C-alpha cells in the first residue's frame, strides 16, 4: 500500500517525535507513568549522587560511592561515569577505556564511552588512535565536534596531494556547522589558520553568524594590537565603532566594518542597511554577497519589507564558500523573503532562489512543494502537477499539501496483525529495556531514551510493534510511538497516535468550544504524553505550561487550591492548558493555525507578525514565512497531527487546507495574555 510507506515518514520527514497509546480510544485512563518516581532505596540515591559527582568532576566522591552502588541494576552506568571522567581528564584513560569495551561489548554505554574518548583523543591530537576508534563508532558519528575532529584527523594525517581538497571541505564545514565555536571545530579552524588555509576573518564570520561572540573574542589573539582593539570595540559596541567612521566608511577596515554592520543589524536593521549602502562601493563581490546576504536574512527574520531588495544587492556571490551567509540557509531565507513580498508572493524571485539551491535542497519536500506553487502561478500547470506528484506519495506537512493540490484523498492504512503475548514477553526479558525503565523511574529520561533506542537496532517490524506494546504497558507512551514509528510496513496508528485522558479532554473540548483533535495534536507535539515533561525554558507537564502562564490561567478561571507544585498533575495541567489554548484561539480570531503559533511563540509575537501584513496572506505562505524555525516546524506538526486525529475519529472534511485559511492583520482588541 502506497499510503503505508508514506505515513511512515511522518516523523522522518518532519522530525516529529511520535507518541501513541494502544489503549482503546474510549478509555479515559492516564498512563501508568514509569518516570519521575523518587529514589526508593539507598542505592538509587547513591547512583544519582554518583552521576552528579561525575558531572562535577569529583573523582574522590565518585570512587567513595562504589560500595553503596555494588549490585545495583544500573551499576554499569556507575562504571561508565567513572571511566568517562578518567577519559576526559586523561587519567589512565586508554587502559580503563579499553577494559570497559572488553567487559561490556556491544552495549550502548560502550558506544557512548567511545564517543567521549574520541573527543578526548581529538583534543589531545592523538589522530592515529582517533581514526581507528572512529571506525568502531556506531552512534554519535554525526556529533558536530566529532565531525570536526574527524576532518582535522584526515587533514593532519594526509601525506599526499589531497590536502587542498581537504582544506576546502574543512572551510565549508566550518562555515555551515551550527556550532563552529565548539572544541573540535575550534581545533580544526586553528590548524587551518596556522597553515594559511583559513583567514581569521573567515573564522570570525562563521562565529559571529552563529551568534558565538564569546568564541569570536577568543579567536582574536592573532591580530595586531591596533586591529585587535578595533575588533573588540566592533564586537562590544558596533554602533559606536561605525559612528566614529561614518563620514569616511569606505576607507575603514572593511572586514571590521562587515562585522560591525552585521551585529548592528540585529538591533537596528534600517540603520545597518544605510551604512551598508555607504560601504558597498568599497566592497569586493565576495564581501558584497556576504554582507547583503546576511542583512537579507535578518530582514526576513524580522519580516521587514527591505528583505528582497537586500538579497538582490548580494548579487551572484550570495552563497560564498565561507562566511556568515551560510549558503544553503541563506537561500532558504531568500525564498521566504520572496513569499513574504509586500505585494504578495513574488513567484519569479522564488523560482530564482530555488534554482540556486543544491540538488539535495531542491528535492526536499518543502521546496518541491513551493516550486510546484511557483510553476502553477506562472501557468505551468503540467510542471506544477509533476512536482506535486513527486512528493504526494510521502507523508508530512508539505507532501500532504501537495496531495491535496492534485486531489488525492487521505487514506488510512488497515490495522496490522495483532501482537502475541509471547512476543511481548520476549521484550520484557531484554535487560536493556529493564535498564531503560529503571532510568525512567529515577527521572533520568534522556539516558533511558538512549538505552531504549539502542535495543531497537536490527528489529523487524513485528518486533518493533511488540516493543512498542511493551512500552505502552509500562506507561512509557513516548517510547511506544517512537518505537512503532520505525516499522516500515506494519503501520499501527493506535500506537502512533494516542488518545489517553479521553473523557477529560472530551469534556474540556466541549465546554470550551474547541476541537478535541486539535488538543490531542498539540499535546502530541508538546510533551509526547509524558506527564512530567519539562523543557529547557521551564515549561511543564502534558501541555507544557510555563509556571507564570499556569498561574495566570488558574487565577482567571478561579481554580481553587491551585499551587505551582500541582502543575504536573494531569487533570490540572490539561484543564489549564486547554483553557489557555482557548484564550489564544479567541485572541487570534478563532483560527487554529494562528492559535497554535501563539501557543508556541506567544500571543504578542503573533500580533507583531500579523501587523506586518498589508493584505490577507495564504495560510500556507504564512506558515512557511514564520520567522522562528521552532515555531514554523511546530505549527506544521500540530496541524498535521490534528488532521490525522480527526481522520482516526472518522471525521470528514478536515484536511490541511481547511486548517490553513488566509491570515489577515485584522485582530480583536489587545489582551493581557502572557
Tell me: pLDDT of 349 over 90: yes
Do 576 and 482 share a structural domain? Answer: no
- pLDDT computed for residue 393 by the predictor: 83
Looking at residue 655, which CATH number applies to its domain?
1.10.530.10
Strand, helix or coil for residue 541: coil
User: What burial letters (b/e) apply to 1-31, b meaning 16+ CB within 10 Å?
Assistant: eebbebbbbbbebbebbbbbbbbeeeeeebb
Number of domains, the chain: 4
Tell me: pLDDT of 401 over 60: yes
Do 266 and 340 share a structural domain? Answer: yes
- pLDDT computed for residue 469 by the predictor: 98
Do 473 and 574 share a structural domain? Answer: no
Comparing 293 with 9, the larger pLDDT belongs to: 293
Looking at residue 54, which CATH number applies to its domain?
1.25.40.10
Do 480 and 569 share a structural domain? Answer: no
- pLDDT computed for residue 142 by the predictor: 87
- Sort 586 into a burial class: Cβ within 10 Å, 0-12 / 13-18 / 19+: middle
Phi–psi pair at 540, nearest 5 degrees: -135, 155
Do 62 and 116 share a structural domain? Answer: yes
Considering the domain boundaries, does residue 204 fall inside one? no
Which among 90, 124, 141 is the end of a domain? 141
Do 358 and 269 share a structural domain? Answer: yes
Residues 63-103: pLDDT tens digits? 999 999 999 999 999 999 999 999 988 777 799 999 999 99
- pLDDT computed for residue 503 by the predictor: 97
Do 107 and 21 share a structural domain? Answer: no
Q: How far apart are alpha carbons 450 and 433 in whole angstroms? A: 11
- pLDDT computed for residue 480 by the predictor: 97
Q: How far apart are alpha carbons 24 and 29 in whole angstroms? A: 10
Residues 138-158: pLDDT tens digits? 998 889 999 999 999 999 999
Please give the mean pLDDT across all residues of the chain. Answer: 91
Considering the domain boundaries, does residue 672 fall inside one? no
Residues 178-208: pLDDT tens digits? 999 999 999 999 999 999 999 999 999 999 9
Which among 479, 496, 513 is the end of a domain? 496
Closest CA to 476 of 5, 28, 18, 35: 35
**Angle at alpha carbon of residue 536, lines to 535 and 542, rounded to 5°:** 5
Do 565 and 516 share a structural domain? Answer: yes
- pLDDT computed for residue 411 by the predictor: 87
Considering the domain boundaries, does residue 516 fall inside one? yes
Do 27 and 49 share a structural domain? Answer: no
Residue with cell 509524558: 530
Which among 122, 141, 160 is the end of a domain? 141
- pLDDT computed for residue 297 by the predictor: 95
Considering the domain boundaries, does residue 305 fall inside one? yes
> What does the chain come to in residues?
674
- pLDDT computed for residue 40 by the predictor: 64
Q: How far apart are alpha carbons 386 and 113 in whole angstroms? A: 48
Considering the domain boundaries, does residue 84 fall inside one? yes
Do 482 and 583 share a structural domain? Answer: no
Average pLDDT over residues 126-140: 95
Do 452 and 312 share a structural domain? Answer: no
Do 562 and 594 share a structural domain? Answer: yes
Residues 51-63: pLDDT tens digits? 999 999 999 999 9
Residues 219-241: pLDDT tens digits? 999 999 999 999 999 999 999 99
Distance of CA 216 to the CA centre of its chain: 24
Domain hosting residue 125, numbered range: 42-141
Considering the domain boundaries, does residue 55 fall inside one? yes
Tell me: pLDDT of 213 over 70: yes
Residues 414-457: pLDDT tens digits? 999 999 999 999 999 999 999 999 999 999 999 999 999 999 99
Considering the domain boundaries, does residue 616 fall inside one? yes
Considering the domain boundaries, does residue 135 fall inside one? yes
Amino acid at each position: 500500500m502506497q499510503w503505508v510507506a508514506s505515513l511512515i515518514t511522518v516523523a522522518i520527514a518532519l522530525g516529529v517525535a511520535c507518541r501513541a497509546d494502544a489503549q482503546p480510544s474510549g478509555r479515559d485512563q492516564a498512563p501508568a507513568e514509569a518516570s519521575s518516581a523518587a529514589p526508593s532505596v539507598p542505592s538509587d540515591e547513591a547512583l544519582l549522587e554518583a552521576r552528579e559527582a561525575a558531572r562535577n568532576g569529583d573523582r574522590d566522591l565518585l570512587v567513595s560511592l562504589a560500595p553503596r552502588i555494588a549490585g545495583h541494576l544500573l551499576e554499569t552506568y556507575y562504571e561508565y561515569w567513572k571511566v568517562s571522567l578518567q577519559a576526559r581528564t586523561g587519567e589512565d584513560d586508554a587502559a580503563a577505556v579499553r577494559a570497559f569495551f572488553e567487559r561490556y561489548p556491544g552495549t550502548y554505554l560502550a558506544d557512548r564511552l567511545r564517543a567521549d574518548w574520541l573527543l578526548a583523543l581529538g583534543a589531545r591530537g592523538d589522530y592515529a588512535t582517533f581514526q581507528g576508534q572512529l571506525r568502531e563508532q556506531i552512534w554519535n558519528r554525526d556529533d558536530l565536534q566529532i565531525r570536526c575532529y574527524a576532518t582535522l584527523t584526515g587533514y593532519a594525517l594526509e601525506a599526499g596531494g589531497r590536502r587542498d581538497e581537504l582544506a576546502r571541505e574543512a572551510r565549508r564545514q566550518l562555515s555551515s556547522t551550527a556550532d563552529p565555536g565548539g572544541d573540535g571545530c575550534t581545533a580544526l579552524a586553528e590548524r587551518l589558520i596556522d597553515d594559511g588555509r583559513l583567514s581569521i576573518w573567515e573564522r570570525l564570520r562563521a562565529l559571529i553568524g552563529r551568534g558565538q561572540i564569546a568564541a569570536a573574542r577568543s579567536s582574536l589573539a592573532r591580530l595586531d594590537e591596533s586591529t585587535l582593539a578595533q575588533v573588540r570595540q566592533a564586537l562590544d559596541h558596533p554602533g559606536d565603532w561605525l559612528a566614529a567612521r561614518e563620514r569616511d566608511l569606505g576607507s575603514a577596515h572593511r572586514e571590521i566594518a562587515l562585522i560591525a554592520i552585521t551585529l548592528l543589524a540585529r538591533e537596528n536593521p534600517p540603520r545597518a542597511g544605510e551604512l551598508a549602502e555607504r560601504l558597498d562601493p568599497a566592497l569586493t563581490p565576495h564581501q558584497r554577497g556576504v554582507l547583503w546576504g546576511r542583512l537579507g536574512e535578518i530582514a526576513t527574520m524580522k519580516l521587514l519589507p527591505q528583505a528582497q531588495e537586500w538579497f538582490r544587492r548580494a548579487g551572484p556571490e550570495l552563497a560564498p564558500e565561507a562566511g556568515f551567509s551560510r549558503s544553503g540557509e541563506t537561500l532558504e531565507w531568500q525564498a521566504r523573503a520572496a513569499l513574504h513580498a509586500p505585494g504578495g508572493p513574488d513567484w519569479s524571485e522564488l523560482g530564482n532562489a530555488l534554482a540556486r539551491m543544491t540538488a539535495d535542497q531542491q528535492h526536499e519536500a518543502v521546496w518541491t512543494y513551493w516550486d510546484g506553487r511557483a510553476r502553477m502561478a506562472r501557468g505551468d500547470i503540467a510542471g506544477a502537477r509533476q512536482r506535486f506528484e513527486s512528493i504526494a506519495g510521502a507523508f508530512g506537512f508539505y507532501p500532504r499539501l501537495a496531495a491535496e493540490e492534485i486531489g488525492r484523498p487521505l487514506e488510512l492504512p488497515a490495522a496490522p496483525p495483532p501482537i502475541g503475548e509471547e512476543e511481548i514477553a520476549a521484550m520484557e526479558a531484554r535487560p536493556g529495556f529493564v535498564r531503560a525503565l529503571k532510568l525512567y523511574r529515577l527521572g533520568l529520561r534522556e539516558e533511558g531514551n538512549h538505552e531504549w533506542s539502542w535495543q531497537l537496532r536490527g528489529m523487524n517490524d513485528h518486533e518493533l510493534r511488540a516493543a512498542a506494546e511493551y512500552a505502552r504497558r509500562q506507561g512509557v507512551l513516548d517510547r511506544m510511538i517512537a518505537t512503532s514509528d520505525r516499522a516500515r510496513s506494519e503501520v499501527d496508528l493506535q500506537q502512533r497516535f494516542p488518545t489517553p485522558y479521553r473523557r477529560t479532554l472530551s469534556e474540556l473540548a466541549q465546554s470550551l468550544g474547541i476541537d478535541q483533535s486539535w488538543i490531542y495534536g498539540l499535546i502530541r507535539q508538546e510533551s509526547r504524553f509524558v506527564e512530567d515533561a519539562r523543557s529547557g525554558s521551564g515549561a511543564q507537564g502534558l501541555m507544557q505550561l510555563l509556571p507564570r502562564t499556569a498561574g495566570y490561567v488558574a487565577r482567571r478561571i478561579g481554580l481553587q487550591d491551585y499551587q505551582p507544585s500541582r502543575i504536573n498533575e494531569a487533570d490540572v495541567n490539561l484543564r489549564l492548558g486547554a483553557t489557555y489554548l482557548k484564550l489564544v484561539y479567541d485572541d487570534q480570531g478563532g483560527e487554529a493555525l494562528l492559535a497554535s503559533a501563539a501557543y508556541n511563540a506567544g500571543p504578542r509575537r503573533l500580533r507583531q507578525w500579523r501587523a506586518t501584513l498589508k493584505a490577507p496572506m495564504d495560510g500556507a505562505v504564512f506558515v512557511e514565512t514564520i520567522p522562528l524555525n521552532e515555531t514554523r516546524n511546530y505549527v506544521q506538526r500540530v496541524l498535521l497531527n490534528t488532521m490525522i486525529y480527526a481522520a482516526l475519529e472518522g471525521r470528514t472534511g478536515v484536511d490541511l487546507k481547511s486548517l490553513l485559511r488566509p491570515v489577515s492583520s485584522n485582530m480583536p482588541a489587545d489582551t493581557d495574555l502572557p
